[in-house]
Amino acid sequence: METLRAIASTDLLSSEGYLHYIEGYTLIEGSKNYYILGKDEIYYSSYLGLPGQINREGKMGQLLYSCAKYGEFTKWLEIGTWNGNGTTLCILDGFRDGACSTAKLVSYESNKYLCRCAELNLAEHAAKLQLQIIHGRLSVGKTFPEPATFSPEIRRSDHFCRYYDEERFTFKNAAVIPCPFAPEVLVLDGGEYGSTLDWESISKENLKVLFLDDILSYKNKELYSTLVKDPNWNLVNSETTGRVNGWACFIRA
């Protein structure tokens, strides 16, 4: 089985500054002269058993856990499962240790390999029956933003160069699957360049609590700034140090 492929930089780098995504491969290493790509299924298999970036040792993870354990909310929605061992695990631990067996978490992950990792990582969790992982996206009738919509600063960043086209490909190829309920709690931690589309597509009629990750990066920076000024939402906790891009929790006023 072919596991690695080396490709000259001129074959991958677009005129707009991002690397063209080759289906089935992830960038492992790069320089001015070459890029090394690894097969997706091999790259993402390393995420099996890997601890989440957000966990109960941190403030956000503990807040998620407490809200799931002691809160009265039964309809939870998460955008961005990752490998399942981050925010997803914090919520499930709260379900397990709390008294509400009717609470449900629906978690969306558009990357099929991460989706599978999450399913395997959480297969033995005591609250696994309260979790539904969906391989797909919520963004109905949305078009992924073109490179020209981003600032020159963003387009010059290493993150944009590496991940923009992969995220665009994943978005376009993910099935649109409606959420089975109007959520009461939302954890918004999806893709860096399509998070706004997720927010626009989510039903907010019953939304009471909102967790935002990466409030200092493009992903949720603008939404965070908007909600801080919105009288309909109260900021109850946030952190802009510790984790690289910060997080925040809002409750409906």
pLDDT of res. 1 = 43
Q: If you search the block for the tokens 């997803």, which residue do you land on?
A: 88
Q: What is the CATH number of domain 59-141+176-252?
A: 3.40.50.150
Between CA 175 and CA 211 the distance in angstroms is 24
Residue 9 pLDDT: 53
Q: Which residues of 178-191 are buried (b: 16+ CB within 10 A; e: fewer)?
A: ebeeebbbbbbbbb
Q: What's the pLDDT score for residue 26?
A: 85
Three-state secondary structure call for residue 83: coil
Backbone conformation region of residue 228, classed left if phi is above 0, alpha if psi is from -120 to 50, else beta: alpha
**Smallest Cα–Cα separation from 33: which of 11, 63, 49, 58?**
11
Of how many residues is the chain composed? 253
| Residue 4: predicted pLDDT | 58
- One-letter amino acid at 59 equals K
pLDDT score of 46: 87
| pLDDT for 199 | 95
pLDDT at 153: 95
Question: What pLDDT score was predicted for residue 41?
Answer: 83
Domain ranges of the chain: 4-45, 59-141+176-252
Mean pLDDT for each 10-residue chunk of the chain (253 residues)?
Answer: 54 85 85 78 87 92 97 96 97 94 96 94 97 93 92 93 94 94 97 93 97 95 97 96 84 97
Distance from C-alpha of 171 to C-alpha of 114, rounded to nearest angstrom? 14
Cα distances (Å, whole numbers) of residue 251 to 140, 208, 228: 26, 6, 11
